[in-house]
Structure 1
Amino acid sequence: MALDPQVKQFFLDPVNDSPPPDDLSLAEFRAAVEAMTSFCAPDKRVLHTRDGAAPSSQGPVPFRAYHPEPGTPLPLVVYFHGGGWMSGGIDYMEPPLRSLAVEAGVVVANVGYRLAPEHPYPAAPRDAEAVTTWMYENATALGADRDRLVVAGDSAGANLAAVVALTLRSSGTRVGHQLLINPAIDPRMDSASYREFSVGHQNTASMMERCWRTYLDRPEGSLHEVPWQAAPAFADDLSGAPPTTVITVEYDPLRDEGEQFAARTAAAGVPTTLVRCPGLIHCAMHLDGIAPRAADLRGHAVRALQAAFV
C-alpha cells in the first residue's frame, strides 16, 4: 500500500527537511523523541492512575499504572517504551498507553527503565526483568490479575519485552503473552527492509546503528556477535516462550526482523500471530493525531490483548 498521505504531509516531509538524527546531540535527540507526543490524539480518560517504583538490586524502577475500571481485576500489561534504549520515558508513552488501557480493558504499567549511554546494556533488561517480577508478585495491589500477565513494548521496548519473556520461561513468574510492536531485535541490520527503507522514513539505518552502538557501548567493531539477552534474534531456542503477537509496519527498516522473529516463534511451537500494518512508518503509535490510519496499529494491539486470555 502507498504510504499514508497524512503521515507523509504532516510528519515525514517536515522531518526530511530537518537536520538528520545523526547530527543531533544526545540532548537534542531525546528532546525530538519526547516531542512526538505533540502528534498524538488526545488520550482516553483513565479513572485511576498510580505512580510507583519497583525495587531492584540496581535501584528503584519507576512506573505509572493506568487502571480503567478500578475495583475490577484486569489483565496486567507491563509495557516498555521505545526510543532506541537512549531516549523516551514514562511521559513519552502517556497518551498511547492511556488509550490502550481504556480500549483494551487492561491495566497498563508504563515503565521507566534506565537509558544508555549513562546506563548501557545490561541495565535496561535487568530493570525490565525486576519490574516484571515485582508486578507479578504485587498485581493485586495494582488492581490486576497476575494470572493474565503480558509483557509488551515497541521498538527497543519490544526488545526488552522479548528478552524478559525468554528469561522468565523457567521462573515462577508466569508470563501469559508477549506483544511486540516493531521490535528492534537484530543489530546486524542486513534485511531487505533495511535496504529498502534505510533513509527517508524517520527511522533510518544510521539512526538504528547509533542506537545499537550506544546501547551496547560499542562505538566500533562488529555487531554480529551480541548476547541474545541484548538481541533476541540471536537466541538459539525460542521454545517455551509465551503466546506471541508481533505487529510490524510496512515502511520500516525493522519490519523484516520482526516478521522473521514471529516465524521463528511459530516454528518453535509457540502460538504466534503476525500482523503487518500497511502504509505506516515506525513511529505510528504517536501519529494518530495527524493521521487517523495510524490508530490501526493500536487497534491491532487492543485486539491482541482482548484475545490473549479468552
Structure 2
Amino acid sequence: MTLEIRPVHGIGDVTAGDDLAELITKAAPWLADGDVLVVTSKIVSKAEGRLVEVPADGPEREEARQRALAGETARVVARRGPTTIVQTHHGFVMAAAGIDASNVDKTHLVLLPADPDASARALRDSLRARNLDVAVIISDTMGRAWRNGLTDVALGAAGIEALRDHRGEIDPYGNELTLTQMAVIDELAAAAELVKGKSDRVPVAVVRGYPRTTHSDLGARELVRDTASDMFSLGTSEAREQGLRDAARLSGEPADADVARFVAARSGALRLTPAGPAPADLLRLGARAQGVRVSLAAAGLRSAVEFDDEGVTVTIEGDL
C-alpha cells in the first residue's frame, strides 16, 4: 500500500454557518473519489457555532472556562494541579473536555462538535451531493494515558470503518491473530496531522490510496471504550478515594449527615455513641467509627480515635 497525504491550503477563517463542503472543494478542486478527508474538529465546531464567549483575560475568563468545562463534563476522571481530565458527554476521555483556546480570538473558547459522527456524515453527504465519494474523519488532539506527547485521533467518521479487524487471520509464522483490531481512523488522523501542523492554518488534509471499506459505518463511537471494560477509568488518586468511600459503606450503615458535615469541615472532633448496651450495638459503633475514619482518609485527612465507657471520639489531626 502506498499512501499520499496532501494538505489543503486556503480554507481561511471559518465562522458560524459556513458551508465546509463549499470551502473544501474550492480549496481542493483536485479532491477525488476514494480519498479520505481529515478535518480538524475546530473548524467543524466553528461552522456549527460551538463557541463560548468569555472575557479576554482576568479571573472572569477562568471562571467562564470552568463553567464551560462543567457543562461539557459527564464525569471527572482525574485532577492534577490546573489539569482536569474528564469524560465528555460523547464518551471521550480528554483534558479539559477538549475545550480549546488556540486558533480562535481571545474572547471565545471552542467546544467539541456536539455529535462528531453526525458532523462527519453531514459533510460526507454534502460532498456526495457534489458528486464526490470520499470518507470523512473529524480529528482532534489527545494525550495518551501511557505516553508523553500528543497525537491526533478521530472523534467522528463517516464512509469508512473505524476498525480493521485482523482476528482470525494467520500471521507469517502460522499463528492465529485473536485480539488485533487496528484503529485505522485514529492512524489516518495522526498521519494527516503531519501535514496540517498546529499553527500553519491548515485544518484539512487528504489521505489518498487507503483501501477503505464500509462494511460497518458506526463512526468513531465504535472506538469509545465503555466504563465496564475500561481498566483505567479513574486516575490513581481518584481510584484510591473511590475505594475508601466504598470501604466506608461496607458496614451497611445509612449515610449520616453529621459525618458528611464533619468531613466537609476538615477540622474538629465527632462524638459517636452506641444505640444501646448490647454487644451488637458496640460492634456497630466500632464499625461506624472506622467508617468515619475511612471517609476522612478518602478526603485526604488524618484522624485519631479514642474509645471510652460511653462511646468513641474521632478527631481530625490534619492532612495526610
* TMscore range, shorter length: under 0.3
**TM-score, length of structure 1 as denominator length:** 0.27
| Largest Rg, 1 or 2 | 2
Per the normalisation by structure 2, the TM-score is 0.26
